[in-house]
């Protein structure tokens, strides 16, 4: 029984990725994540655990990210083939610097973070932020805040914005009025520590006409050009993993907990559905997981050009390559 299943699976893999070869000749590759192991990456870990990459012809290793690493640099160096990088913003800046990476998919279709103030605090509207203290990650989130303020004609100098550290404790303690929070991580922490979402006033970028899709899937450019089948196989297996994690979140959480057994399970359980929501939002609703929405990308790009973060427009068609994804039947990509 087992043997037959394996045979079938191998057959399926052969059909699916004929150019990569058989189970005997797996393509070795690594995936560098953007952060430490957590259910933000559950689909990748589950795909690995269930052997989806292997079945697709890849011998994949998943390497966690961390505070001292830039996924773009590691993938650009060729030491790693795939990466979950910061977001569309970091792809822009990497391409601007000439780093040989391409974006082959987008995980979070909408801006994955919001800005939060306390519901009973002084900040009820964006206008109220004037003269107040706000923190944001200076890896890109601060630009989104600048953009939101600009959309209401507020100069960024009017708000006291400083770099946000890892902890949200200063906000909880009232030392800071506005804090950046990802839907899947900090917001859960805030809800838990303040006692519910109704204790918070949220400012969502999309409400101010800004969308920055993040958690972009990138590949080393030379590797992708030489091994299009491997890129396709990677995306196909990752989609399978994420669909499995969506179907059985418990398995998704478990796959991560096996890698990092000391992290808090309840927190991870709360994180996964939020990540899935961000993944299925926007263009993904019609075009499936990892869809690269050219409109959203262009919008984000123009926003960063307007913010003068990018000195000049970059070649988006070269940087964002949907062809690997489009080679996979749409039905397979739909979550």
Burial 67-102 (b: 16+ CB within 10 A, else e): eebbbbbbbbeeebbbbbbbbbbbbbbbbbeebbbb
Q: From CA 107, how far away is CA 215, in angstroms rounded?
A: 5
- The distance of closest approach from Cβ of residue 293 to other proteins in the complex, given in angstroms and rounded to an integer, is 29
Q: Which is nearer to other proteins, 10 or 139 (CB)?
A: 139
Q: Which is nearer to other proteins, 76 or 123 (CB)?
A: 76
| Part in contact with other proteins (CB under 8 A); list of ranges 70-78, 92-100, 138-146, 326-334 | 70-78
State which of residues 14, 23, 69, 281 lies at the interface with other proteins (CB under 8 A).
69
Across-strand partners of 28? Answer: 59
- The distance of closest approach from Cβ of residue 185 to other proteins in the complex, given in angstroms and rounded to an integer, is 9
Annotate each residue in 259-278 with x if it binds other proteins (CB under 8 A) or - if it does not, as one string.
xxxxxx--x-----------
DSSP state of 26: P
State which of residues 3, 5, 15, 67 lies at the interface with other proteins (CB under 8 A).
67
SS3 265: helix
Tokens 């100098």 sit at which residue? 157
Indicate whether 77 belongs to the interface with other proteins (CB under 8 A): yes
Indicate whether 167 belongs to the interface with other proteins (CB under 8 A): yes
- In the window 170-229, what residues touch other proteins (CB under 8 A)? 189
- The distance of closest approach from Cβ of residue 126 to other proteins in the complex, given in angstroms and rounded to an integer, is 29
Phi then psi for residue 276, to 5 deg, are -65, -40
Q: From CA 81, how far away is CA 60, in angstroms rounded?
A: 10
Q: Which is nearer to other proteins, 10 or 61 (CB)?
A: 61
Across-strand partners of 202? Answer: 116
- Angle subtended at Cα 166 by Cα 163 and Cα 170, rounded to the nearest 5 degrees: 75
- Cβ–Cβ under 8 Å, residues 194 and 200: yes
Q: Which is nearer to other proteins, 183 or 324 (CB)?
A: 183
Annotate each residue in 16-35 with x if it binds other proteins (CB under 8 A) or - if it does not, as one string.
--------------x-xx--
State which of residues 169, 225, 248, 286 lies at the interface with other proteins (CB under 8 A).
169
Across-strand partners of 114? Answer: 181, 204
- The distance of closest approach from Cβ of residue 179 to other proteins in the complex, given in angstroms and rounded to an integer, is 14
State which of residues 9, 14, 50, 63 lies at the interface with other proteins (CB under 8 A).
63
Indicate whether 160 belongs to the interface with other proteins (CB under 8 A): no
**Beta strands, E only, the chain:** 27-32, 58-63, 82-84, 101-108, 113-118, 133-136, 160-163, 178-182, 200-204, 214-220
| Part in contact with other proteins (CB under 8 A); list of ranges 55-63, 148-156, 218-226, 290-298 | 55-63
- Contact residues: other proteins, CB under 8 A: 30, 32-33, 36-38, 61-69, 73-74, 77, 79-80, 166-167, 169, 189, 259-264, 267
């Amino acid at each position: 029984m087992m043997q037959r299943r394996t045979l079938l699976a191998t057959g399926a893999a052969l059909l699916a990725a004929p150019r990569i070869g058989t189970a005997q000749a797996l393509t070795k590759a690594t995936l560098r994540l953007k952060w430490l192991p957590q259910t933000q990456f559950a689909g990748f870990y589950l795909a690995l655990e269930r052997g989806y990459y292997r079945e697709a012809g890849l011998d994949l290793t998943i390497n966690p990210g961390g505070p001292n690493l830039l996924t773009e640099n590691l993938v650009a160096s060729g030491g790693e083939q795939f990466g979950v990088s910061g977001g569309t913003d970091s792809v822009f800046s990497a391409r601007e610097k000439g780093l040989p990476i391409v974006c082959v998919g987008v995980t979070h279709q909408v801006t994955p973070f919001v800005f939060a103030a306390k519901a009973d605090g002084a900040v009820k509207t964006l206008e109220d932020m004037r003269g107040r203290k706000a923190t944001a990650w200076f890896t890109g989130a601060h630009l989104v805040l600048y953009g939101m303020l600009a959309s209401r004609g507020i100069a960024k100098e009017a708000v006291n914005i400083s770099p946000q550290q890892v902890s949200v404790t200063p906000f909880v303690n009232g030392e800071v009025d506005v804090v950046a929070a990802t839907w899947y991580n900090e917001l859960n922490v805030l809800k838990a520590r303040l006692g519910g979402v109704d204790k918070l006033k949220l400012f969502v970028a999309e409400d101010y006409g800004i969308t920055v899709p993040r958690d972009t899937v990138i590949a080393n450019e030379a590797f992708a050009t030489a091994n299009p089948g491997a890129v396709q196989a990677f995306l196909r297996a990752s989609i399978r993993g994420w669909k499995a994690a969506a179907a059985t979140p418990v398995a998704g959480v478990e796959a991560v907990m096996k890698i990092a057994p000391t992290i808090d399970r309840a927190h991870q359980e709360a994180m996964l559905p939020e990540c899935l929501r961000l993944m299925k939002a926007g263009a993904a609703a019609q075009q499936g997981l990892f869809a690269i929405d050219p409109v959203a990308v262009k919008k984000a790009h123009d926003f960063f050009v307007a913010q003068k973060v990018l000195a000049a427009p970059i070649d988006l068609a070269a940087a964002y390559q949907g062809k690997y994804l489009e080679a996979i039947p749409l039905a397979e990509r739909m979550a």
